[in-house]
Amino acid sequence: MSIRLHPNAKLNLGLRIAGRRSDGFHDLQTIFLPVTELTDTLDIELLEGQNRLEVNDHSPFPMGNLMAHTVATAYHLLAPYRPQAMRVTLTKRIPVGAGLGGGSADGTAFLQLAAQRCMLPVDIPLADLALRIGSDCPFFLRNAPCHARGRGEILTPIEWPCPGLWLVLVTPPIHISTPWAFANLPPREPSTAPRQTLVDLLGQPLDQWQRGIINDFQPLIERTHPQVARILARLRDMGAAYVALSGTGPSCYGLFRKQPEVASTSFKGCYIHTQRL
């Protein structure tokens, strides 16, 4: 028997970093938004026996084996519950290491399926297991717009206020290390701490989002990677009502009121995805 899954990407709408915690993680605030039409594919063949996993990774992107690692991590977390033996073939469309949560989406989707194929009942909440895979994995269990706090695992569902906007997502062929980005993020001055939450700001007119819904990493990444700054400027020139970096990048995106024309030469060498939200 074979099963096919299509885990989708996500965007960060705003990303505020409050500070480093005693456990080494950072407290943050962000809006997670699913990108439902940008998906990977997991083909899962159910085999005889338990506690055996084979993973075939068909990734066109560098570091694709990191995605296979999240799938293997999910399976090993379930080892005490004797999951059915499986062979997984992973086909990537979501760019890797791009601030889009592709690895987390793959691992979480597989965790949900494998938990249903265990000989023993799984007596730990899936959200707790997902958090061991990655900080944004609990979001993919919901896969709906959410306000996230803590490491990203404290989730409050929200209503997306602008249905029908068009998304243009652009991922340049550069790698940005998440640990490097956190290590080089300038500390926020107490006097500049925002008074409004991202949910409050999301309730304002779209034209005001650019001033208030800020990704704290964006100035650092624009300064150290000029291509990111050029992509964001190009999206503005195309008429985007809001542009931003997703996560620690390098993916950039623009939100448009009308479907934009994206010429093949607009972002040479970049991965481009367009859809209606």
Taking the domains of the chain in order of start, what are their residue ranges? Answer: 2-156, 161-276
pLDDT at position 60: 58
Regions of the chain where pLDDT drops below 70:
58-67, 189-194
Give the start-end residues of each E strand in the chain: 2-5, 8-20, 26-39, 41-50, 53-58, 84-91, 146-149, 154-157, 166-171, 242-245, 252-256, 271-276
- At residue 20, the pLDDT reads 81
Is 10 in the active site? yes
The CA-based angle 178-28-20, given to 5 degrees, is 70
Distance CA 207, CA 116 (A): 45
Q: Is 136 a catalytic site residue?
A: yes
Query: Which is catalytic among the residues 10, 40, 92, 216?
Result: 10
pLDDT for the residue numbered 199: 94
Radius of gyration of the chain (CA): 19
- Under CATH, which number does the domain 2-156 receive? 3.30.230.10
pTM exceeds 0.85 for this model: yes
Distance of CA 145 to the CA centre of its chain: 12
Q: Which of 40, 106, 136, 216 is catalytic?
A: 136
User: What is the predicted pLDDT for the residue at 158?
Assistant: 96
> What's the CATH code, domain 161-276?
3.30.70.890
